[in-house]
Structure 1
Amino acid sequence: MKSHGWGGAQFEGPESILIPLVFSLIFLVGTVGNSLVLAVVFRNGQMNNNTTNLFILNLGVADLSFIVFCVPIQATIYTMSEWVFGPFLCKAVHFFIYLTMYASIFTLSTVSLDRYLAIRYPLRSRELRTPRNALTSICFIWGLSLIFSGPYLSYYKQMDLNGTVVCVPVWGPPQRKVMDSCTFVFGYLIPVLILGLTYARTIRYLWTAVDPLEDMSDSKRAKRKVTKMIIIVAVLFCLCWLPHHVINLWLWYGYFPLNQATYVFRILSHLVSYANSCLNPIVYALVSKHFRKGFKKVFSCLLSKKVANKVHVVQAAHTVSTLEAGSTEPVMMHSVPRCGFPCISG
């Protein structure tokens, strides 16, 4: 991610306040939303027999990791005059940005194939679409992501430029051009082509093999809803990361003027690509009845736990004040909240 603020130029004006606020909102929504997704997937008891849930879990892990490790740094640099996070983070944060980007797009590509097989060949694909194979695919996804993002560990370096500490690319222009082009091809173009082909065939089959006016089985109806949800997630990812890749290609293969308009365009490309990591939970909540119920249960569980803890404190104080005069033995009390959804330990 090309971060023009990381080179050491301090931003002045409204953007120095507005941009960190937007990043803070992304961090808050993304952290809460993806944590809820992980809680629902972990606790719904379907991970042992549902490959799609495993891929959604992996996507949530990638998004949450991206938000926790990358967004705070990106939010603070817009108000600083130099790089203050040290040489290790200068390398690590860029590496992690691309690692999670690759993991997300590779996961979306894999789940598009999973959805196609589940809908087109529901019986024949059962032996292939197993949790064990899904976990193997996830390990392969992260291994491949490590390979493609590994070069970014040496792409950036902390330097002292005229008394100002900066974090800037140290590769030469030819090497950077090749690297950014490869990132576009393997981290965007090819996965988007896979997504487009598989979902086009999936949608075609759904609307031609099955008459939407006829009654469908619950299984087919559920598969259609899940596929719709995943397609929306994939489309949002492609749209949100498109400006970033457009700027990179524009820089290397065209004339990219440095003016106020392109300055705003670069900032917006950062905001949009980062915001993608907090959009998936919103999509799940809007499209999936299952996730809506899961989110509500998590909130009700946390609320009941909080209320139970308050009641426990009041009862304990009252009991101790009543008994302390007549006994010197310690009093141990327990309060276990109960709810219809497994509680998240505090």
Structure 2
Amino acid sequence: MFATVSLSASDDTNHSSTDPQTLLKSHWPIKITIISVLGAMITLGNIAVIMVISSSVSGWSRNSRYFLLSLTGADSAFGLIITPLNLCVSLMKDYSDGPDFLCHIVAFFNATVYSTCMYTLATISLERYIAVFYPLVYSSLMTRRRTLLLIGFAWCFPPILLVPISFPNGIIEVHFSTASLVCNPSYSTNVGYSIALICFIFFPCSIVMTYANLCLWLAAKRQRVKMRTQHLGRLNRPNVAARVLVPVMTVYYTCWTPCMATIIYNAISGRQVPEWMEFVVVWLPTSNGFLNCIFYFWINLSFRRKFYMLFHRLCLTVCPDVAKALGCTDSLQPGIWDNNNSIPERSSSVSSTCTLITLADDTSF
């Protein structure tokens, strides 16, 4: 969801060079450049992710791949839908124009993609929690049907909540913001609906993610202390839990909390926030689509190995001479790089989460 800003037209008929709208538009080239670079980073990062998880990755179960594909799809929508749509609107729409049907549709897509991403992150945390704390019944709890139902809920429930935004002259107004270059719902025009959206989207997802990841971190910490005690301090393994779970939650709250706080502030007070503050809080959640590629994928050793293998094969196929000059060869040792088909699917969580508890295999990360 996007924070909103209500820009009121000046009552002064003499528009001088210091007109706030003129100053806002003077910053457009910088903002458009930032948005374009962000969109390109998100798109390229998620293309690489799709290349890898479209095939099997060692240590990732079938359910994990489904959830990760769902997350990649939601993140890719940031770069393939949100960024182009809002850039087109910012170039086509004049700030003096009032709300229109196009703006309502764009605002609906913005809010839907943002909400779907949050729900997808919550479902991944839930699946990770079940895999670690209920390994013996994981297969019966997380069946293929239930996995697909959870993914379907993450994608279908947000549009149902947000469909009123798509109707002009509906229960909530939408205006184009020259500060953030997006079509924003004016949440102050319907405070009850605005607060309800946050209560049904942000708070539930945050509670699920916080509880699941906190339990995982505490369990990993207890296991780490236990292993140190058993080995009389001789064991010096890396703190995998802190290296994975803490950044995931830190990035989540850093990206989403300012946006949600701004929505609440604007809905209750009806006041605008400073120009650049609005731009940052509106587009900061989008960066989560790129950072997810790092914390959910690139930090995993199996993922990196599979990506290097696919990248080498692609280079050898497209430009064999250049690839060989750069050191890419055909001898990738399939037993090391691609042993996915020889390992039966196990009921593990995303990114070999069970290693957060057992810490038995440092090479999983």
TM-score, length of structure 1 as denominator length: 0.72
User: Which runs of 5 or more residues in structure 1 are unaligned?
Assistant: 160-165, 216-220, 312-336
2:206 and 2:309 map into 1 onto residues whose CA distance is: 35
The residue correspondences of 1:19-38 to structure 2 (distance < 5 A) are 19-38=31-50
The residue correspondences of 1:200-239 to structure 2 (distance < 5 A) are 200-209=214-223, 211-213=226-228, 229=244, 232-239=247-254
2:138 maps to which residue?
125
Q: 1:269 Cα deviation (Å)?
A: 0.9
- Which of 187, 199, 203 is residue 189 of structure 1 equivalent to? 203
1:278 maps to which residue?
290
User: Which runs of 5 or more residues in structure 2 are unaligned?
Assistant: 10-20, 177-181, 232-236, 324-329, 339-365
Aligned length: 298
Q: 1:61 Cα deviation (Å)?
A: 0.2
Higher Cα Rg, which structure: 1
2:151 maps to which residue?
138
Which one scores higher on RCO, CA 8 angstroms, separation ≥ 6?
2
Alpha-carbon RMSD across the aligned residues, in angstroms, is 3.8
Give the direction of change, closer, same or farther, for the CA distance of 1:209–1:191 in structure 2 (3 Å limit). Answer: same
Q: 1:71 Cα deviation (Å)?
A: 0.8
2:321 and 2:101 map into 1 onto residues whose CA distance is: 42
Q: 1:41 Cα deviation (Å)?
A: 0.9
- Which of 130, 147, 150 is residue 163 of structure 2 equivalent to? 150
1:185 and 1:93 map into 2 onto residues whose CA distance is: 22
Q: 1:46 Cα deviation (Å)?
A: 6.8
1:49 and 1:284 map into 2 onto residues whose CA distance is: 14
TM-score, length of structure 2 as denominator length: 0.69
3-state SS, counterpart of residue 248 of structure 1: helix
Contact 1:41 1:57 (8 Å CA) reproduced: yes
- Which of 93, 96, 111 is residue 124 of structure 2 equivalent to? 111
Give the direction of change, closer, same or farther, for the CA distance of 1:225–1:147 in structure 2 (3 Å limit). Answer: farther
2:303 and 2:59 map into 1 onto residues whose CA distance is: 14
1:167 and 1:251 map into 2 onto residues whose CA distance is: 15
3-state SS, counterpart of residue 43 of structure 1: coil
1:287 maps to which residue?
299
Q: 1:91 Cα deviation (Å)?
A: 2.4
State the Cα deviation string for residues 7-66 of structure 1 (Å, max 9, x = none): 9956333x3222111111111111011111122111126799432221111011011123
1:179 and 1:6 map into 2 onto residues whose CA distance is: 21
Give the direction of change, closer, same or farther, for the CA distance of 1:168–1:279 in structure 2 (3 Å limit). Answer: closer
Give the direction of change, closer, same or farther, for the CA distance of 1:156–1:297 in structure 2 (3 Å limit). Answer: farther
Q: 1:109 Cα deviation (Å)?
A: 1.5
- Which amino acid is the alignment partner of residue 313 of structure 2? C
Contact 1:54 1:131 (8 Å CA) reproduced: no
- Which of 194, 211, 214 is residue 180 of structure 1 equivalent to? 194
Contact 2:67 2:120 (8 Å CA) reproduced: yes
The residue correspondences of 1:61-100 to structure 2 (distance < 5 A) are 61-77=73-89, 82=94, 89-100=102-113
| Identical positions, percent | 20
Q: 1:118 Cα deviation (Å)?
A: 1.2
- Which amino acid is the alignment partner of residue 279 of structure 1? L
3-state SS, counterpart of residue 137 of structure 2: coil
State the Cα deviation string for residues 125-173 of structure 1 (Å, max 9, x = none): 23112333211211122221222222221245689xxxxxx967588x4
Contact 1:47 1:54 (8 Å CA) reproduced: no
